Amino acid sequence: MTPSRGTIGIKRGYIIPIGGAEKKRRDPVILEKFHKLSGGKNAIIIVIPTATKVEENGQRYVEIFTDMGAKTVHCLNITNRKDCNREDYLSRLKEATGIFITGGNQLRLSTILGGTPVAKLIRRLNADGVHVAGTSAGAAIMPEHMISGGRAGSTPTPRSVSMSPGLGLTNSVVVDQHFRQRDRLGRILAAIAYSPFLTGIGIDENTSIFINPENVFEVVGHGGVTVVDPSEVQFSNMSESVRNEPISITGVKLHILTDGDSYDLNKHIPHISTPEDEV
């Protein structure tokens, strides 16, 4: 699945995976940046809380973005695949300048949204300039390849990770969330061993990346982002390993980036922010 082509002459919208547990009221730098990017006082933000069964979760984000000054904020309470055909929901999505997907269970997201008119419209809107952010499960589902489960630990095994189809807003990365807090290095390494054309992005809590139309991302937030670069992988024995056996993989590059740092996903080049950059 490749990202939607979009309209010629219109830049893609940002793709904004958030590692979960982002600050919502005190120092909400990530949500504020998304709100501002989406138009600030002219923003029309759509909240999609499908990943969770907690009804109040979507309304909480509606209140947050409303308090920030967004022009309009709607919550689409999509709880089953039939809801994805509702004309009122599709009409509201078409007006959006920003779309926010909440956390919860990413398999719930993929099984309810996958292949529906809502999912297809989100892809087209992002290709035509609408910014899409997602936290936790909402972050995991953004790429074509989604990490749907796995095991904690630093050593990759064939069973460290399970993969499922995602939204396909990008096909160059695989994203894992709550990264350092839940010890997920092994499973993102396993994901890279399965698909060594993907760049692995592990995002800590209260941390995000803002991927711009040129496929360069900036880190925003208070934690770290682990980039697993497979562009020079020389060897992997994933195809020979079984079950819980540790796998061998060589040539992997690993970068740890923090707030203000950036990374070019096309060239695989990191840039570390310095005080001179802020002048």
> Would you kindly state where each structural domain of the chain is located, as residue ranges?
15-264
Q: Where are the alpha helices (DSSP H) in the chain?
A: 29-37, 56-68, 87-94, 106-113, 117-127, 137-140, 185-194
Give, for all 279 residues of the chain, the pLDDT tens digit. 678 888 999 999 999 999 999 999 999 999 999 999 999 999 999 999 999 998 899 999 999 999 999 999 999 999 999 999 999 999 999 999 999 999 999 999 999 999 999 999 999 999 999 999 999 999 999 999 999 999 999 999 999 999 999 999 999 999 999 999 999 999 999 999 999 999 999 999 999 999 999 999 999 999 999 999 999 999 999 999 988 999 999 999 999 999 999 999 999 999 999 876 655
CATH of 15-264, one of 3.40.50.1110, 3.40.50.880, 3.10.520.10, 3.40.50.2300: 3.40.50.880
Which amino acids are annotated catalytic? Answer: 136, 178, 205
Edge-first strand listing for the sheet containing 216-221: 72-75, 44-48, 98-101, 131-135, 15-18, 207-211, 216-221, 262-264, 269-271
- Its pTM stands at 0.97
Beta-carbon count within 10 A of 241 CB: 18
- Neighbouring C-alpha atoms within 13 Å toward the C-beta of 140: 30
H or E, element range at 270: strand 269-271
Nearest one of 152, 113, 151 to 134, comparing CA atoms: 113
- Non-local (6+) Cβ contacts of 124 within 8 A are 4, 6
